[in-house]
């Protein structure tokens, strides 16, 4: 039995990893929906997909007033909470009990579908990354198959990895980039004082966008990204550090995306590089001593703190566009709103999912820029 309503009811949730600017997107979507027609209602789900597929009475907020949105866009993270449900994915290859996985997936999906029906939603906006889009798309497909009724799904790209196809930028990436560059600058002060080497591991499980852009903006020695096997060839990396010493650099900084560990099939690659640098005879001869090397991991610090102005502007643009899409009677399929060449665009959700994650390609301009600006093997100037 659905709820009686006069206007439309639109659900909003933030899902997956938190990213600075998510609050701004929720705020923009809410205000646009209510400005379009005050009789429209907004339903907020708490704790991301966990809330959607959990006990409805404790995991959603209704009758939201404008006051609830005041001041939230200046805060990092997401004020309604977020979460992941790995079991919404198809059973992983090699899982010991595929039938148990499929049963659990069906149970979670069933709860979410019933919750959506009980709330009488006309559309739902999800702010998150690729995994969130896949999970919600699966739930919406099950909903429409059961009730033979359409439910509009609109995705808003929110991830610090910047790896969603169909958009040039994702909410949270700019803040994470600035946080990472700030960490690099602070590290440089110490390692220049001691003439040391630092290997800084940054987030980026599949893509190297954060590592690449932070490395360029931070002026590091070299960069290791999962898409480019030559970038994590340790012989090449050690040669770059040798070149930096020959050029009288006092600080040697290697930025490594966390996905390099998976791509190289070597979970200890950073530690192995540290040992290689400290025991390299050429480096020891150049310096007159072994080059002390430390491994640092920036981790969650990169995604914390107040969103940058650029992230809040992007969040406002995309939240506004998502509200318009959720209210649009002409939206015939699930879509994602993104930004391309500074313009808001709609992309079919199926294409976004099929083509994500967005990786550094062979013709990447940024990769060419990095190769020109950073230290290279046997650099002579």
pLDDT digits (tens, 9 = 90+) for 338-364: 999 999 999 999 999 999 999 998 778
DSSP string, 70-86: TTGGGSSS-TT-----G
Tell whether the model's pLDDT for residue 321 goes beyond 60: yes
pLDDT of res. 226: 97
pLDDT of res. 45: 95
Query: Which pTM does this prediction carry?
Result: 0.94
368 has catalytic annotation:
no
If you average pLDDT over every residue of the chain, what do you get?
94
Distance CA 208, CA 228 (A): 9
| Domains recognised in the chain with CATH numbers | 9-171+307-340 (3.40.50.450), 175-304+362-373 (3.40.50.460)
Distance CA 96, CA 127 (A): 32
Q: Which of 74, 30, 78, 27 is nearest to 308 (CA)?
A: 74
pLDDT: which is higher, 295 or 362: 295
Residues in the chain: 381
Out of 161, 163, 280, 311, which one is annotated catalytic? 161
| pLDDT confidence band for 62 (50 / 70 / 90) | confident
Count Cβ atoms within 10 A of the Cβ of residue 263 and give its class: 0-12 exposed, 13-18 middle, 19 or more buried: buried
Please state the rounded mean pLDDT for residues 90-119: 95
């Amino acid at each position: 039995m659905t709820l009686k309503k006069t206007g439309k009811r639109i659900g909003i949730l933030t899902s997956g990893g938190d990213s600075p600017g998510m609050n701004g997107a929720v705020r923009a979507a809410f205000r646009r929906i209510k400005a379009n027609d005050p009789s429209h209602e907004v339903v907020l789900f708490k704790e991301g997909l966990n809330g959607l597929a959990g006990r409805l009475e404790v995991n959603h907020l209704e009758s939201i007033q404008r006051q609830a949105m005041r001041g939230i866009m200046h805060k990092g993270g997401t004020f309604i909470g977020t979460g992941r449900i790995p079991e919404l994915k198809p059973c992983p290859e090699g899982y010991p009990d595929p039938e148990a996985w499929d049963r659990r997936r069906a149970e979670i999906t069933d709860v979410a579908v019933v919750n959506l029906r009980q709330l009488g939603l006309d559309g739902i906006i999800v702010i998150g990354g690729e995994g969130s889009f896949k999970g919600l798309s699966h739930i919406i497909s099950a909903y429409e198959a059961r009730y033979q009724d359409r439910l509009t799904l609109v995705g808003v790209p929110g991830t610090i990895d910047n790896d969603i196809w169909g958009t040039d930028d994702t909410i949270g990436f700019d803040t994470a980039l600035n946080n990472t560059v700030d960490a690099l600058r602070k590290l440089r002060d110490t390692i220049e004082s001691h003439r040391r080497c630092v290997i800084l591991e940054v987030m980026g499980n599949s893509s190297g966008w954060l590592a690449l852009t932070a490395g360029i903006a931070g002026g590091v020695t070299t960069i290791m990204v999962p898409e480019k096997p030559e970038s994590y060839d340790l012989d090449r990396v050690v040669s770059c550090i040798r070149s930096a010493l020959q050029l009288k650099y006092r600080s040697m900084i290697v930025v490594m995306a966390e996905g390099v560990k998976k791509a190289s099939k070597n979970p200890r690659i950073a530690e192995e590089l540290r040992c290689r640098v400290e025991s390299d005879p050429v480096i020891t001869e150049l310096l007159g001593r072994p080059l002390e090397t430390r491994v640092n991991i920036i981790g969650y610090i990169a995604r914390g703190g107040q969103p940058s102005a650029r992230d809040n502007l992007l969040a406002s643009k995309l939240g506004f566009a998502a509200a318009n899409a959720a209210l649009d009677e002409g939206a015939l399929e699930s879509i994602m709103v993104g930004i391309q060449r500074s313009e808001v665009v709609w992309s079919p959700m199926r294409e976004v999912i099929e083509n994500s994650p967005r990786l550094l390609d062979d013709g990447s301009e940024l990769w060419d820029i990095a190769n020109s600006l950073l230290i290279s093997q046997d650099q002579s100037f």
